[in-house]
Amino acid sequence: MLVNVLDDIHGQNSAVVGTSFRFYENALLPYQSDEFVAGIGSNAEQTLAVGSPSVANSVLCHPSISNWSKASGKPFAQKGERCKRLSASLTLYLVELLNRAYAGEQLSALPESKPSLEAQNCQSCHGVSETMATASSVKTDMECTVCHSGHFN
Ligand code: HEC
Ligand code: HEC
């Protein structure tokens, strides 16, 4: 929503959204460097409450939190500081992306602005405006095989 409220910066808004989704799926988050922790006005004691950073493997909140729980051994109810830092990490990354787009970088040319090749292959038949034969139409910027096994293997 935030990105689309802005003007389409050099035609790169879709790539900004796609790249931030890939980052949320694949990066070890939240950021934990001393510089970041100081930058958000937090401290090392609060870092203990975060436990271990984790990879979400998804753009959805539920796998993100549950994979963090697995990595850090903490229950959902203690997610507070971790989720605040996750939001701050994403905000920082998003601002960096917007600045790169504003500076004229073609983010849409980067592989990380698109779903994996495997998901793009699914989309080639399960398209948004056209589909192959009886395939249902799908519109989602998520990794398909996190939830589906696919069907030609
Ligand atoms: C070559 C085209 C093609 C590709 C590539 C493809 N699909 Fe499909 N998919 C279809 C068709 C056609 C159907 C409908 C089958 C039917 O009607 O029985 C379908 C059906 C499905 C279904 C419905 C349940 C089922 O198994 O029939 C799911 C879920 C699905 N595809 C997911 C995926 C995922 C995930 C990928 C990528 C890993 C993928 N598809 C790649 C053509 C494709
Ligand atoms: C977060 C999990 C998740 C992701 C990621 C996801 N799906 Fe699904 N998808 C589902 C669920 C749940 C259903 C509903 C299944 C049902 O009702 O049986 C569904 C339904 C479908 C169907 C219709 C099923 C049918 O029986 O015809 C297709 C086709 C499909 N997804 C393809 C895709 C493709 C292609 C992608 C990637 C671009 C994708 N999905 C990503 C969870 C997901």
Query: Backbone dihedral region of 27: left (phi > 0), alpha (psi from -120 to 50 degrees) or beta?
Result: beta
Residue-wise pLDDT for 49-79, tens only, equals 999 999 999 999 999 999 999 999 999 999 9
Give distance in angstroms: CA of 150 to centre of ligand 1: 7
Residue-wise pLDDT for 78-130, tens only, equals 999 999 999 999 999 999 999 999 999 999 999 999 999 999 999 999 999 99
> Ligand nearest 25 Cα, by number?
2
Give distance in angstroms: CA of 4 to centre of ligand 2: 26
Residue-wise pLDDT for 20-49, tens only, equals 999 999 999 999 999 999 999 999 999 999
Mean pLDDT of 1-28: 94
Query: What's the confidence (pLDDT) of residue 100?
Result: 98
Q: Which residues does a 6 A CB cutoff place in the pocket of ligand 1? A: 118, 121-122, 124-126, 132-135, 144-145, 148, 150-151
* Cα 36 from Cα 104, distance rounded (Å): 26
Query: Is-cis flag, bond preceding 30, omega within 30?
Result: yes
